[in-house]
Amino acid sequence: MRRLYTFAAMLIVMSFFALTVTAQDTELASHPLVGTWEVRADLGDGDTSCLSRDVFTDEGAFIEADCEGTVIIGTWEPTGDSTATISFTSSDPEGGTYTIRASVEVAPDKQSFTGTFTFELTDPATGEGSGEYGPGTATGTRLVAEAPGTPEGPVMDLFGQFEGTPEASPAP
């Protein structure tokens, strides 16, 4: 009889855990940040030329391909109906790491967001952090899938226009 009670208690706990996970998944899946975004960041100098592509999954993963082609993985979580926090750590060229921590708010039309972030360096020799610096600002624009339009011609005609130009030839 004692085993039956133990088994029943385990089922109740497991059911509660399953409901909690489902509620969290639903919260993430319905959050307006889920999707793919073009993001421009300003470290405070007014330069927003570095365009990244960021993906926010419905499981809390953050994936970024920055303007230099580096892929960065991190996490995000909702802090409200249209707000969230994001954090990720990546390596810098000198062997240290940097950590970005951000807060963003998605606009009511769900097609853009704005946010602020801090930047922290970690010294590779000591493992000590620099402390958080910032804030920087970020703006995002949602990417949407588009169906193809009416072709102007074959793809090879497009690329053929560039044959013989210096840009079309690989460097020696």
The average pLDDT across 87-107 equals 90
Indicate whether 115 belongs to any domain: yes
Instruction: Give the CA dihedral 130, 132, 136, 142, nearest 10 degrees.
Output: 110
Tally the domains of the chain: 1
154 has a pLDDT exceeding 80: yes
4 has a pLDDT exceeding 50: no
55 has a pLDDT exceeding 70: yes
Indicate whether 90 belongs to any domain: yes
Euclidean distance between CA atoms 101 and 114, whole angstroms: 14
The average pLDDT across 94-108 equals 93
Indicate whether 165 belongs to any domain: no
Indicate whether 6 belongs to any domain: no
pLDDT for the residue 18? 38
Indicate whether 20 belongs to any domain: no
Indicate whether 57 belongs to any domain: yes
Q: Which domain holds residue 103?
A: 31-142
Q: Which helix (H) or strand (E) holds 79?
A: none
C-alpha distances out from residue 87 to 100, 117, 122, 163, Å: 6, 9, 15, 44
Tell me the backbone φ, ψ of residue 59, rounded to 5 degrees.
-110, 5
pLDDT for the residue 124? 85
Indicate whether 15 belongs to any domain: no
Indicate whether 5 belongs to any domain: no
Distance separating the N- and C-terminal Cα atoms of the chain = 81
6 has a pLDDT exceeding 70: no
What's the length of the chain? Answer: 172
24 has a pLDDT exceeding 60: no
| The pairing of beta strand 97-106 with beta strand 83-91 | antiparallel
SS3 13: helix
Euclidean distance between CA atoms 34 and 71, whole angstroms: 18
The average pLDDT across 125-142 equals 94
The average pLDDT across 57-86 equals 95
pTM: 0.74
What CATH number is given to the structural domain containing 91? 2.40.128.120
Does the bond joining 135 to the residue before it have cis omega, within 30 degrees of 0? Answer: yes
In order, the DSSP letters of 124-155 are: TTT--B---EEEEEEEEEE---------SS-H
99 has a pLDDT exceeding 50: yes
SS3 16: helix
